[in-house]
């Protein structure tokens, strides 16, 4: 990479707004689009999304599991989707949520962050719930290759709070400890560090202080899951310029027509563009 992830991300968001368009080839969506639930349908779905989105939004986010469900041929489609989306100008977050320890984590890092890997986009999602330090192989490799990582902090699934909102002996929530660990990795980076966090747009009050994060926040759940621009503004306050709202089903329901998909993505893009523009008028912390 000729530029670090934080710099590429800031430039792309300035040009195209902060929207992340999800590419989620769920079997139900394939059927809704009139596509067969097989590798051919998967490929048509994914490449239609690339055609519709990649030149219009800052980032696309293919959900790796829906490709992996079809075995090696599905993974090959994921590789092509990543390559074609990047070639068309979008940054690609591979939503893989990998997390392990030692040599296994190092292997995941190589798969999704190494320069010579066909599965490497511009960033990957990671799960830190074997301990933030278990992610060191990925954090170190991403720094070397100029890619980004997004670490799960506070997710919107109903099972998440029992772990993520639990408190350490020092009284800090586990989610806050993940944010603080990411902030430590981003210290001094300009314009942003390469270690982002994932915080759902529908989590309610977060109780998190993000003022020192100095990195991006991936906020899934905009649209069909109930998240709104008002929620994003309320949740993220003065760091709204660092927030990347993600919408999948709310846009994807407009397929398979490319023009309709593109129009939906553009409308959603414009609805969230104001987040960065209004960031300077809000406070420095969120709750």
For the annotated catalytic residues, the residue numbers are 97
Burial zone of 271 (CB within 10 Å; 0-12 exposed, 13-18 middle, 19+ buried): middle
Residues 6 or more apart from 16 whose CB is under 8 A from it? 56, 57, 58, 269
Tokens of 135: 């992610």
**Pick from 56, 65, 109: nearest CA to 85:** 56
- CA–CA separation, 219 vs 211, rounded Å? 16
Q: Are 151 and 177 in contact (CB under 8 A)?
A: no
Residues 6 or more apart from 79 whose CB is under 8 A from it? 118, 119
């Amino acid at each position: 990479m000729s530029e670090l992830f934080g710099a590429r991300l800031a430039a792309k968001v300035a040009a195209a707004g902060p929207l992340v368009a999800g590419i989620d080839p769920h079997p139900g969506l394939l059927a809704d689009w009139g596509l067969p639930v097989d590798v051919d349908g998967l490929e048509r779905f994914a490449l239609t999304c690339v055609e519709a989105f990649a030149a219009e939004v800052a980032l696309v986010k293919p959900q790796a599991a829906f490709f992996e469900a079809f075995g090696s041929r599905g993974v090959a489609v994921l590789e092509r989707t990543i390559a074609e989306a990047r070639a068309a100008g979008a940054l690609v977050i591979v939503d893989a949520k990998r997390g392990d320890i030692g040599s296994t984590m190092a292997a995941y890092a190589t798969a999704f962050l190494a320069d010579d890997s066909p599965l490497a986009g511009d960033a990957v999602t990671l799960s830190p719930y074997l301990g933030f330090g278990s992610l060191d192989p990925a954090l170190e490799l991403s720094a070397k290759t100029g890619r980004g990582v997004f670490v799960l902090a506070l997710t919107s699934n109903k099972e998440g709070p029992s772990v993520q909102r639990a408190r350490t002996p020092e009284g800090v929530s586990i989610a806050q400890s993940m944010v603080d660990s990411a902030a430590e990795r981003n210290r001094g980076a300009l314009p942003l560090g390469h270690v982002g966090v994932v915080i759902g747009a529908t989590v309610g009050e977060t109780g998190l202080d993000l003022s020192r994060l100095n990195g991006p926040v991936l906020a899934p759940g905009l649209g069909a899951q109930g998240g709104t621009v008002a929620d994003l503004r309320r949740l993220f306050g003065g760091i709204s310029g660092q927030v990347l709202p993600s919408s999948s089903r709310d846009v994807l329901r407009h397929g398979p027509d490319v023009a309709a998909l593109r129009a939906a993505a553009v409308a959603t893009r414009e609805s969230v563009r104001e987040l960065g523009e209004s960031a300077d008028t809000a406070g420095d912390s969120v709750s």
